Chain A
Amino acid sequence: MLNKKKSIYVGLLVIIFLVAFSTALFAQDQEHYGGTMNAAFQMSVAHLDSDNSTDSMITTMMNHVYEGLFEFDENLKLQPHLAESYQVLKNGLEYKVKLRKNVMMHNGQTMNADDVIASFQRWLKINNAGQLVEPYFDKVEKIDNYNLVFKFKEPYAPFLNLLASPVSNQKFVVRSKEIVDKFGTDVITEHVGTGPYKFAEWIPDQKLVLTRFDDYTPSPLEASFFAGKRTAYYDKIVFNFIPDAQVRVSGVQTGQFQFAEEVPRDQYQLFEANPDIKNIIIYPDRMAMFITNNGIPPFNNKYARQAIVYALDFEELGYAMIGDSKFWRLESALHEKGNPWHVENAGQGIYGVYDPEKAKELLKKANYDGTPLVILSGQDNEMERQGAIAIKDQLEKIGIKVDLQLFDRPTVVEKRSQKTGWNIHLSPFIKVVPDPQIHQGWTGTNKWISNWDSKESHQMDQIFAELLQEVNYQKRYQIMEKLETEMWDSVPYFNILDYSRLHIIRSEVKNFKAGWQPFFWNSYLE
């Protein structure tokens, strides 16, 4: 009897303790809510429709408003997000996807298969990644409100990776069918998604304001970068567009901003010494890509392209382009170490072998006639500008005449789209690429800006075709190795080095995770 009484007392005590503990935890979590995240970003955007642009800044901001069927986690592993589960059927010809139920959208309705289908068809039509998929795609069929199947005419191995791609605007996000029907392929100006924040106000060139979506339905998975549970602690997020780096820095120093994107790396030590500020280095983050115009002499000859690799002192370029070696590392492979597609011995024997004499020999072999090489580069991006000046210096040291042309971004984009008038261009590429197929958009016959059309480019097309058909990882990896070998033999373009950007954040911001694209769910103000 006494034992029974004792057990009841103990049981009651445990219950009281548990209730008190969970209440305390809840109260603590409630304390995290509130405040405004004022973030300073360097570049403004023309609009907020990611499918209609190649600007990664749109995705960065609208990741808070829209979500994908799939999202990448911290380990670059694909996770279902608005999807609950999926199956790959018929050897990669069909993808059956089950959607999460009762996911609220910003218009008060729940997300269903009709929203996904409408958004997907728009993505297929106007998004750059969608257009890559489109030739292989057959149709999307609705099974019921929460089940659908994507059918292909031919296997398209990178499909799911592309749907969740963190590269520029490639990611597929779910929008309200109502809005998609209203705008069609035009730029969307009304934003109804499923994200933890909803669109509130946009003043072009000044700011974008998002407010918390109180009815947000989080993923049941554990939070990990873009995947899993998202909690909107801030009442409001304001993305401010501040082009001057020093103004962004001062804003964080004075507390006007809680976060600043891309600040001068040379001030790292100063931020380190300031208790109010935390440095955020995202690594690996970017690659500094050296692009040649392969449609005209001298770079329509692969020996001339190889010569350039031998002519450059990559380490010296690292210091000139990026500065402190903490922020860059030499890397020949298209995918970073740790990425499942990383090829260890890419570029062996040519990458990082500084040999000006061999460069001269190869230029002779390519019948280079000494016509000055035009370097076309942007003024506004530090890496591009500094890199172009440093490359000019290095090429001149071995007797190559160089005409350096620095312009604003729109002029560079216009000029580099021409078949002639330029020979060399530098461009920052996003390093974290989930699938080798992403490179298809850049490399191959007449892809992107390289104007490449030769027997080597046709060979590269063949490699990409093999990659598309193969769904087995091991076999795809072997094709990837072949791709790297071919890349470093024909050198249509090459990675000079990987580098990191430096962001800063106020110390009172807690639980901020440094993703490839900054995001503010799950972090809070203390």
Chain B
Amino acid sequence: MLKKYRRYKHPYIITSIIILSLLLFLSLAAPLLTNYNPVRNDARNRLKAPSAVHFLGTDQFGRDVFTRILYGLRASLEVGLAVVFLTVLTGGIVGVLAGFYPGLDKFIMRILDALMAFPGIIIAISLAAIWGAGKLNIILALSFAYFPKMARIVRSSVVAIKDLDYVESARAAGARDSRIIAAYILRNSASPIMVQATFNFALAILDEAALSFLGVGIMPPAPSLGAMITEARNYMVVAPWLIIAPGIMIILSVLSLNLLGDGLRDLLDPHLKNSFKK
């Protein structure tokens, strides 16, 4: 399958993979790229403009902005990955149950409909406000907000696949439900799940920034791109670097993930993939 895809050079995918790799490298190699501690203050050197000593200047506590961006990026990617894992897991299980067992379908889908009636960010803000701020609580809140959509996508895929001939053959050959689901249905549902997971990743980064911006996200002094923007609001006139740098990072990460999602959707959609063949 992969071999087949090597023949395609999708510009979105290439661009996004380059940017994502760079961001991943920056966040993972943070301790090698900077000597500063992201949470240690040096207030006597607050709001210093970018210089050779502080590549992106310092913030209101005299902390190195470049260092905080690297660690903030790491936090964002951690949240994004964890949310993707949890939404795929929970959405996958619920979606398969609804799609594969008609008896459960109506019951599960009505609950999902009710959850989807609320915008995801509202659910996330409410849960984060109830559970309190913190990385784990954000991950759980965002996962809860996103899993209904993932479950719906998985369910649609399962419903479409479960009556196909090869599934029927497997059932006739005596395969158990678990085997049919794992070997035949999920394997063939991978494409929409992957695309949705990529969008969820981008959305999680954006919503984590939004939650931190609203004060219910990652607790200070831990770095977070959203919280850095919140704190920078009061200094943006005198120290614009405080808001520009984390803003660009959020744009880059969300844009690259969205491009990847778009690219994968185009590539995996049999109706669109030929248009990118070269």
Interface residues of A (CB under 8 A from B): 245-246, 264, 266-267, 269-270, 315-320, 323, 379, 382, 385-386, 389-390, 392-394, 397, 404, 406, 408
Contacts and interface: CB of A to CB of B under 8 A. Distances in A.
Contacts of A385: 220
B109 to A, nearest CB: 37
B50 to A, nearest CB: 17
A356 to B, nearest CB: 15
A245 B61 contact: no
Nearest to A393: B41
A389 B59 CA distance: 13
Contacts of B233: 246
A264 B61 contact: no
Contacts of B235: 264, 266
Contact of A386 (B44, B60, B236, B239): B60
18 contacts: A245-B234, A246-B236, A264-B234, A264-B235, A267-B238, A270-B237, A319-B43, A319-B44, A319-B46, A319-B62, A320-B41, A323-B60, A382-B234, A390-B43, A406-B133, A406-B215, A406-B219, A408-B215
Nearest to A397: B40
Q: Kindly state the interface size class of chain B when it binds its partner.
A: 20 to 34
Contacts of A266: 47, 60, 234-235, 238-239
Interface in B220-253: 220-221, 233-239
Interface in B18-65: 39-41, 43-44, 46-47, 60-62
B212 to A, nearest CB: 12
A320 B234 contact: no
Contacts of A406: 133, 215, 219-220
Contacts of B133: 406
- By Cβ-Cβ distance, the 9 closest A-B pairs, closest first, are A319-B43, A320-B43, A393-B41, A264-B234, A266-B238, A389-B221, A316-B43, A379-B215, A320-B61
Interface of B: 39-41, 43-44, 46-47, 60-62, 133, 215, 219-221, 233-239
Contacts of B220: 385, 389, 404, 406
Nearest to A266: B238
B238 A393 contact: no
Contacts of A245: 234
Nearest to B42: A316
B61 A389 contact: yes
Contact of A320 (B39, B46, B237): B46
A385 to B, nearest CB: 8
Nearest to A264: B234
A270 B238 contact: yes
A93 B58 CA distance: 60
Contact of B40 (A264, A386, A393): A393
B210 to A, nearest CB: 16
A245 B237 CA distance: 12
B256 to A, nearest CB: 30
Contact of B41 (A315, A316, A379): A316
Nearest to B215: A379
Contacts of A267: 237-238
Nearest to A405: B219
Nearest to B235: A266
Nearest to A269: B238
B234 A246 contact: yes
Most buried by A among B40, B41, B44, B221: B41
B125 to A, nearest CB: 13
